Amino acid sequence: MTMKALGIHLLIELWSCNRQKIDEMNYLERIMTEAAEAAGATVLKTAFQDFNPQGVSGVVVIAESHLTIHTWPEYGYAAIDIFTCGTKVSPWKAAAYLQKELEAGDIHVREFQRGFPLTVEVNRPHPEFVTHDACSTAHSQ
Amino acid sequence: MTMKALGIHLLIELWSCNRQKIDEMNYLERIMTEAAEAAGATVLKTAFQDFNPQGVSGVVVIAESHLTIHTWPEYGYAAIDIFTCGTKVSPWKAAAYLQKELEAGDIHVREFQRGFPLTVEVNRPHPEFVTHDACSTAHSQ
């Protein structure tokens, strides 16, 4: 399907991570925030939760969409996704930062475009809107 | 790549939504929470943000991973993703609930497995671990 891309969404599998690091909620909250900043994003909110006996889930809401992480320390595995809209932010920079920080031995990334079909008629706020960064109009403060 | 699936991740495009509804943060926070419950998930935390002049971003952290939404009211478009681990939760039920609530005229869903390669050696906490629901062990309280 041909879509007008409003953003890029990465599904990232990190394997053979440092098992101690991916079980530390405060550390993960810090590096997820730093990853967002490495991507050039503006951090708005975070929500993290650790689990018993192990594992952490966390999300970072950014002006350009989000980053999430879910970890399985018992497997050395972290599932991450990074969704960024606009052209000024690079989700790949965030992915590289996290791979390095978590000492992941292996990484697999799937990249997808998010948006709407080109056949959808766009209700433009003003005539020159198509030349603007859609994200910066809708999703930045 | 053959992976041991720990969860299902849906990337959902909702088009021709009710433009007023997808610009109301409190409403979206409520129905995203309800969607999680419709899926059979346990809601842990939420983080929502609205934008000027329009648009909302929000995440719901669940014991089984997360739901997120980002809306572009000017396009009638909502980008949603739902990641659930374990076999007791159905992300498709959440998707159907949101499609109905947001009065989406069209929906497109991509489904992916999340996990690790079967070649990775698993450090099992106890011998019978493979017969358990990995998610319920790691990510439920």
Q: Report yes or no: B132 at the A interface, CB cutoff 8 Å.
A: no
Asked whether the predicted pLDDT for residue A5 surpasses 60, the reply is yes
Residue B118's pLDDT is: 67
Residue A49 has pLDDT above 60, yes or no: yes
Cβ under 8 Å to B: A residues 12-71: 13, 15-16, 44-49, 51-55, 57-59, 61, 63, 65-66, 68, 70
Residue A132 at interface with chain B, using a CB cutoff of 8 Å: no
**Are A55 and B86 spatial neighbours (Cβ–Cβ below 8 Å)?**
no
Query: Tell me: the pLDDT tens digits for B61-76?
Result: 999 999 999 999 999 9
Determine the 3-state secondary structure of A91 from DSSP.
helix
pLDDT at A136 over 80: no
Tell me the mean pLDDT in the region B20-45.
98
Let me know: does B37 contact A76? Beta carbons within 8 Å. Answer: no
pLDDT band at A133 (very low <50, low <70, confident <90, very high): very low
Write out pLDDT tens, residues A78-122.
999 999 998 899 999 999 999 999 999 999 999 999 997 765 444
Handedness of CA A10, A133, A31, B52 (dihedral sign): negative
Side by side, the strands of the sheet bearing A56-62 are A43-50, A56-62, A65-72, A77-85, A3-15, A106-117
The better pLDDT of the pair A126, B62 is held by B62
CB A14 within 8 A of CB A78: yes
User: Which pLDDT value is given to residue B56?
Assistant: 98
In this predicted structure, what is the pLDDT of residue B20?
Answer: 98
What pLDDT score does A116 carry?
76
Which residues of A fall within a CB distance of 8 Å from B140? 51
- Give me the interface pTM, i.e. the ipTM: 0.84
Cβ–Cβ < 8 Å for A64, A140 = yes
Residue range A27-32: mean pLDDT, rounded: 98
Of the listed B17, B85, B135, B139, which one is catalytic?
B85
Q: Is the pLDDT of residue B132 over 70?
A: no
Q: For chain A, first and last CA: distance in Å?
A: 31
pLDDT class of A130 with cuts at 50, 70, 90:
very low
Q: What is the pTM of this model?
A: 0.85
Give the torsion sign (CA, A22, A25, A26, A28): positive
